[in-house]
Amino acid sequence: MARVHESTIINAPIDAVWHILRNFNSHVDWHPAIATSQIENGQPGDTVGAIRNFTLADGGLLREQLIKLDDEAHELAYCLLEAPLPLNGYVATIKLKPVTETGQTFWTWESTFSPPDHRKQELVTLVAKDIYQAGFRALEDYLGGSGPIHASVHNQTEQGASPSPSYQQIRRHDTSSAGPSALGTLTTQAIVMDTHGGPEVLRPRQVDVPAPGPGQVRIRQSFIGVNYIDVYCRTGYFNLIDPPGIPGMEAAGTVESVGEGVTHVQPGDAVAYACAPVGAYTGLRTMEAELVIQLPRWLDPRMAAASLLKGVSAGFLLQDVYALRRDDVAVVHAAAGGVGSMLVQWATALGARVVATVSTPQKAAIAEAHGAYETVIGRGADFVETVMQVSNGRGADVVYDAIGRDTFAQSFEALAIRGHLVSFGQASGPIGEWDIGHFATKSATLSRPNYGHYTETGPMMEQQATRFFKAVEEHMLTLAEPTLYDLGQAAEAHRDLEARRTTGSIVLKV
């Protein structure tokens, strides 16, 4: 039997440390050894019995089960179910205690397991150093213990010439302490473009992030969603960035500090946003608090960054732009894409029959798995014929078309009398000039919705996000694992996105 016992003092209050650790899936946010992680079966991260399924930076896959969670004693225990190493019978315990004198936290992390004798020393060292000791420092950094925030706090405390921060000073990090921030400007890594152009214009750079003003919030971002609109902003096709500027419309993380008058979120809250103005490709961001959404406990920041913008889009396309009805026939183009796969699942769950179009057999399999009534490979005459069969010759009640030039004419052809063509993108190019009189042949409705107009105020964003979260909770939508890139690799992520080398969402990890 081997036993590992490590303990440390964390320069943050016990509530702040426990708030993170009690979420069994949080390790992907702060522990450097963890590459990806998710709780199986979509359970919340504080469910005793929950299994976290995670990969290490070297690709190793592990599964661990939460077997004890005690908010009163600040203790949790977990055991290993599967691992690439012989850590047989591994059971670990995490315990926190307050250091009342200083406001810090005493953290004990220990475990027992039965390794083969010849590997005992190696494995004990691995667990103690690479997992526990590395984890201690990483969590402190994550909490701002030795990062830029730390420096800021010290600038303030040094005036009092105190060698160790007092309890009150440390309480700035306390998740339970809301109120105006007293912190100044912080520095972080961001992706800045000095000019419009190809992926190469996306360059990492240190930037200053101001303290939140009245009504604002500063977010310590952990994951950033990459969307096709970011490419349009980069090339200048959309005029949303006047260089130099920072692209990106979607990210998730935790609130670092809040400005005056902000009440709906407080420091330590897990939050996300998916809206203009652009500027998401950064480690820290200050923005209007009302656009920031508090994440439900079951949705970790990585999955939120992968899905919020696409889920909100699917929500207003299906319910606001056109109010989908049970038994409608709906066409979804690019049905295995980010928004497309959400549209297929959600529309099917609402009772519509979905005709999905895709470009490859692999993508057809995805659309079918999501419940598409019929799936067509290619977007020529075939899909129009399929729509007519499914609708008994009537045509589609609604067509969701983000392809543009290559599909617009067929989309109109597939439409029923008084059908609704929703054109929400043009991945293949502009649709060209159309005579509006032609729409009279079907009394057709045409919409060209703009994401911004459905999410531009706090209440609108809140309503859209709530609807999306509810759809996931009710299993109308299943969220897919994103492909992760480091923030510094934003240019590479854009190259792969434009070359369609990826499937599913792309997320940048800070």
Within residues 291-350, the interface with another protein by CB under 8 A covers none
Q: How far is the CB of 32 from another protein (least distance, A)?
A: 17
| CB 279 within 8 Å of CB 241 | no
Question: Which listed range, 6-14, 242-250, 361-369, 388-396, lies at the site for another protein (CB under 8 A)?
Answer: 6-14
Of 99 and 480, nearer to another protein (C-beta) is: 99
| Chosen residue from 8, 216, 266, 464 binding another protein by CB under 8 A | 8
Residue 6 or 496 with smaller CB distance to another protein: 6
Say if CB 318 and CB 339 are below 8 A apart. no
Please give, one letter per residue, the 3-state secondary structure of 404-418.
CCCCHHHHHHCEEEE
Give 214's strand partners: none
Sequence-ordered list of residues with C-beta below 8 angstroms from that of 199, at least 6 positions apart, any chain: 234, 491, 492, 494, 495, 498
Q: Does 182 bind another protein (CB under 8 A)?
A: no
Nearer to another protein, 37 or 104 (CB): 104
142 binds another protein (CB under 8 A): no
Of positions 58, 72, 101, 435, contacts another protein by CB under 8 A:
101
Under the binding rule (CB under 8 A), the answer on residue 73 touching another protein is no
- 100 touches another protein by CB under 8 A: yes
Instruction: With CB under 8 A as the rule, give the number of residues binding another protein.
Output: 16
Report the length, in residues, of the chain. 510
Task: Tell me the C-alpha distance between 30 and 34, whole Å.
Answer: 8
Binding another protein (rule: CB under 8 A), the pick from 63, 97, 120, 467 is 97
- Least Cβ distance, residue 129 to another protein (angstroms): 11
Q: Taking the complex as a whole, how short is the minimal distance between the CB of residue 12 and another protein, in angstroms?
A: 15
> By C-beta, is 106 or 373 nearer to another protein?
106
- Interacting positions 366-425 with another protein (CB under 8 A): none
104-113 β-sheet, strand order: 2-10, 104-113, 91-99, 75-82, 61-70, 51-56, 34-39
Is the distance from CB of 252 to CB of 272 less than 8 angstroms? yes
User: Is residue 102 part of the contact set for another protein (CB under 8 A)?
Assistant: yes
Q: How far is CA 101 from CA 146, 157, 160, 333, in A?
A: 21, 17, 18, 62
Q: How many CB atoms lie within 10 A of CB 244?
A: 13
Phi first, then psi: give them for residue 176, nearest 5 degrees: -90, -5
Instruction: Print the binding letters for residues 108-127 with another protein: x by CB under 8 A, - otherwise.
Output: x-------------------
Give the range of 1-9, 195-203, 303-311, 418-426 binding another protein by CB under 8 A: 1-9
Q: Are 244 and 234 in contact (CB under 8 A)?
A: no
Pairing of strands 34-39, 51-56: antiparallel
Among 18, 54, 136, 408, binds another protein (CB under 8 A): 136
Comparison of 82 and 130: residue with beta carbon closer to another protein = 130
Cβ proximity to another protein, 97 vs 203, nearer residue: 97
- Cβ proximity to another protein, 9 vs 365, nearer residue: 9
Handedness of CA 296, 301, 303, 305 (dihedral sign): positive
Comparison of 11 and 410: residue with beta carbon closer to another protein: 11
CA distances, 83 to each of 28, 131, 350 (Å): 17, 14, 40
**Is 6 near another protein (CB under 8 A)?**
yes
Token pair of 283 as six digits: 């480690």
**Close Cβ partners of 473 (under 8 Å, ≥ 6 residues apart):** 296, 298
Strand partners, 108: 7, 95
**x/- track of binding to another protein for residues 21-60 (CB under 8 A):** ----------------------------------------
Structure tokens at 107: 């953290």
Q: How far is the CB of 140 from another protein (least distance, A)?
A: 11
CB atoms within 10 A of CB 221: 29
Q: Which is nearer to another protein, 104 or 188 (CB)?
A: 104
The residue (of 104 and 227) whose beta carbon lies closer to another protein is 104
- Let me know: does 226 contact 496? Beta carbons within 8 Å: no
**Residue 3 is a binding residue for another protein (CB under 8 A):** no
Amino acid found at 393: G
Contacts of 272 (CB under 8 A, 6+ apart): 250, 251, 252, 253, 292, 293, 295, 301, 304, 305, 308
9 binding another protein? (CB under 8 A): yes
The answer to whether residue 470 forms part of the interface with another protein (CB under 8 A) is no
262 Cβ partners below 8 Å, 6+ apart? 178, 212, 215, 216, 217, 289
Part of the chain binding another protein (CB under 8 A), chosen from 2-10, 227-235, 443-451, 469-477: 2-10
DSSP designation for 353: E
Instruction: Check residue 129 for interaction with another protein (CB under 8 A).
Output: no
- 371: three-class secondary structure by DSSP: coil
β-sheet bridge partners, residue 192: 203
276 touches 21 (CB < 8 A): no
Candidates 133, 156, 169, 359; binder of another protein (CB under 8 A) is 133
Options 93-101, 183-191, 418-426, 495-503: segment touching another protein (CB under 8 A): 93-101
Cβ distance to another protein smaller for residue 75 or 374: 75
Using CB under 8 A, which of 42, 98, 236, 458 touches another protein?
98
Instruction: Tell me, residue by residue from 268 to 297, as one string, x for binding to another protein by CB under 8 A and - for no binding.
Output: ------------------------------
Which positions lie near another protein, rule CB under 8 A? 5-9, 97-102, 104, 106, 108, 133, 136
